[in-house]
Amino acid sequence: MSDIKPTTTLEEITSLSKRRGFVYQTSEIYGGLANSYEYGPAGVEVLRKIKNLWWDFFISKREDMLGLDSQIILHPKTWEASGHVNSFADPMVEDKITHKRYRADHLIEEWLEKNKIANPPVVEAMKLEDMANFLKENKVKSPDSNEISEVKNFNLLFETSIGVIADESNKVYLRGETAQGIFSNFKQILDSNRVKLPFGVGQIGKSFRNEITTGQFVFRTLEFEQAEIEYFFDPETSNWEALFKDWQDKMWYFATEILGIDASRLRWRRHDDAERSFYSKDTYDLEYLYPFGWKEVWGIAYRTDYDLKQHMKFSAKSLEYTDPFTMKKFVPHVIEPAVGVNRLFLMVLCDAYQKDETKNRLVLKLDQKLAPYQLAVFPLLKNKEELVKKAREIFEQLGKKYRVSWDERGNIGKRYLSQDELGTPYCLTIDFETLEDDSITVRQRDNASQERIKLKDLEKYLTDMLA
């Protein structure tokens, strides 16, 4: 048994998020909306930075990668071709008294954990009838301790309609994944770019799933952002195992080196034959130790030529690639690394959360690339005009290069503590000494140390520290 523990509890993360403006409940003034959250002023900075870093690392810096921004509402045949209309479903049961619905697999997982079963079955690999048998044999009840209904599949796609008449002929879906926009644009991408296999297409965008499991904060929501890549290759000339391993290494590097996640709280989990989709030759989840256990952040699957072939069948258009040297015509195979940006965000927040017992403070040790503010500037006292004037000058100057927070409320200690919770790496205080000798106090978030820096040396100091 490993003794690695989550950094914190979900309650602590949600309360910090609300207090400091990282994440809010959606429509709070109306009582909230299940599985929906908003990103506040601090959260949106972190979220954007994660997306920019992903785009920079996986698209901008690679010659073999192209970007795309496809629509949320696609032609409805897309989802018939992809299999989502028929089989994009979760197993559900209903509480016979309250009529609340629950995911059958989640009830089983909770039951196994509560009853501390040795060698528990792999729930992800259970079929509908296996779940039904398990629930019956173990007399599993709903969270309200009531009897539950039979297990049924519940489709996760959100339906809507185009135009004024809401009938079958106008029915469309909010996309359940961004990936299908890449497959359905494959021909146009080939026709409009000089691309040679292997190459990939990536996009970041909103996806929608009618999730009913509550209580996992931004981990599982109705509306979320995916960052997905389809990497196309010729299986006769490229070794898929080597490509797959290379993508796994890139995902790991991004999580540990770019986002700065502690590797001890990350692990790979391979899908076994029962869990893996029938068209996939290999699938792994990159899991993080969230406050509610090891859970999938990022998936990688070798999907073969399944998706392109399905779209060829449903559109009656060729999605073949012609090798420019050999003139061989074929449907490329694909490896798909797919991540939820909101799950990366939650991982980043949880991993950075630290209680500094010695100094009785809470610190968000975010990598400085991800912090909502890189700097904070304070005048020691807000009613001393000359201090405020000098601090404002410094704030405005630094604001041209960095995201800087201004705070003049309350005592200086409280201001430091609130910046620690926001993850601001450096706080600069302008005091009476500044007016005499042009030096300021620079206070570091991680060890709470303070030093005096001359204003003439500040630019170099910050360039070195915030490289």
Q: Which residues within the stretch 389-448 sit at the binding site for ligand GAP (CB under 6 A)?
A: none
Minimum Å distance from CB 341 to ligand GAP? 8
Binding mask 107-126 for ligand GAP (x = CB under 6 A): --------------------
Nearby residues of 285 by Cβ (< 8 Å), 6 or more positions away: 268, 269, 271, 296, 297, 298, 299
The residue number with the shortest CB distance to ligand GAP is 340
DSSP state of 148: B
Binding mask 162-181 for ligand GAP (x = CB under 6 A): ---------------x-x--
DSSP state of 258: I
Binding mask 276-305 for ligand GAP (x = CB under 6 A): --------------------xxxx------
Binding mask 18-47 for ligand GAP (x = CB under 6 A): ------------------------------
Instruction: Assess 307 for contact with ligand GAP (CB under 6 A).
Output: no
3-state secondary structure of 368: coil
Residues 88 and 176 sit within 8 Å (Cβ to Cβ): yes
Minimum Å distance from CB 30 to ligand GAP? 22
Minimum Å distance from CB 344 to ligand GAP? 8
Minimum Å distance from CB 11 to ligand GAP? 20
Q: Which is nearer to ligand GAP, 135 or 255 (CB)?
A: 255
Q: What is the 3-state secondary structure (H, E, C) of 374-396?
A: CEEEEECCCCCHHHHHHHHHHHH
Q: How far apart are CA 219 and CA 352, in angstroms?
A: 17
Q: Which is nearer to ligand GAP, 291 or 340 (CB)?
A: 340
Q: Which is nearer to ligand GAP, 109 or 296 (CB)?
A: 296
Minimum Å distance from CB 222 to ligand GAP? 7
- Return phi, psi of residue 281, to 5°: -90, -25
Q: Which is nearer to ligand GAP, 22 or 134 (CB)?
A: 22
Please give the C-alpha separations between residue 89 and each of 128, 166, 310, 335, 419, in angstroms, as whole numbers. 11, 23, 19, 23, 43
Burial of 44 (0-12, 13-18, 19+ CB in 10 A): middle
Closest to 417 in 3D by CA, of 360, 372, 368: 360
Binding mask 209-228 for ligand GAP (x = CB under 6 A): x-x--------xx--x-x-x
Minimum Å distance from CB 204 to ligand GAP? 11
Question: CB 335: neighbour CB atoms within 10 A?
Answer: 25
Minimum Å distance from CB 180 to ligand GAP? 8
Minimum Å distance from CB 112 to ligand GAP? 22
Q: How far apart are CA 15 and CA 18, in angstroms?
A: 5
Q: Which residues within the stretch 321-340 sit at the binding site for ligand GAP (CB under 6 A)?
A: 336, 338-340
Minimum Å distance from CB 275 to ligand GAP? 12
Among 70, 342, 405, 429, binds ligand GAP (CB under 6 A): 342
Q: How far apart are CA 423 and CA 361, in angstroms?
A: 12
Q: Which is nearer to ligand GAP, 94 or 211 (CB)?
A: 211
- Site for ligand GAP (CB under 6 A): how many residues? 19
Supply the DSSP string of 270-303, one letter for each residue. E--TTTS-TT-SEEEEEEEEETTEEEEEEEEEEE
Minimum Å distance from CB 221 to ligand GAP? 5
Pairing of strands 321-322, 329-330: antiparallel
What does the block give as tokens for 424?
Answer: 């601001």
- Between helix 128-137 and helix 104-114 the angle, nearest 10°, is 40
Q: Binding residues for ligand GAP, per CB under 6 A? A: 177, 179, 209, 211, 220-221, 224, 226, 228, 296-299, 336, 338-340, 342-343
